[in-house]
Amino acid sequence: MGNVIAVRVSKELKTELEELDIDYADEVRIYLEKKVKQRLLSKTLSKISAHRRELQKKIGKTSSSVEFIREDREHGH
C-alpha cells in the first residue's frame, strides 16, 4: 500500500466527479506518474546537454551521429 496525498477540491467538483463516475484517485495517480517521468526526462536531457557543452569546450566541436553517417557514406565506406 502506498502513501496518501490529500487534495482539497470544491464540493461542486467532487459532486461532478462522482456523478460522472470518474475515478479521480486513479486519474490523479496517472497524472502524477506522467509528470514525474517528464521531469526526470527533462532533468536527464539537461545533464546530457551540459555534458556535451563540457566536451565541446575540451575537444572542440562535436558532430552528431547523422553527420558521421553522412560523411562515411560520402566517402564510400
Per-residue pLDDT tens digits for 14-24:
999 999 999 99
Is 21 contained in some domain? yes
pTM for the model: 0.66
Query: What is the C-alpha separation between 32 and 38, in angstroms, rounded?
Result: 10
Q: What phi and psi values does residue 16 have, to the nearest 5 degrees?
A: -65, -40
Closest CA to 25 of 10, 5, 54: 5
Is 5 contained in some domain? no
Residues 6 or more apart in contact with residue 16 via CB below 8 angstroms: none
Is 3 contained in some domain? no
Q: Which residue do the cell numbers 459532486 mark?
A: 15
C-alpha cell at 73: 557514406
Residues of the chain falling short of pLDDT 70: 61-63, 77
Expressed as residue numbers, the domain containing 41 is: 11-74
Please report how many Cα atoms fall inside a 13 Å half-sphere around the Cα of residue 73, on the Cβ side. 6
Q: For the chain, how many structural domains are there in total?
A: 1
pLDDT value for 77:
63
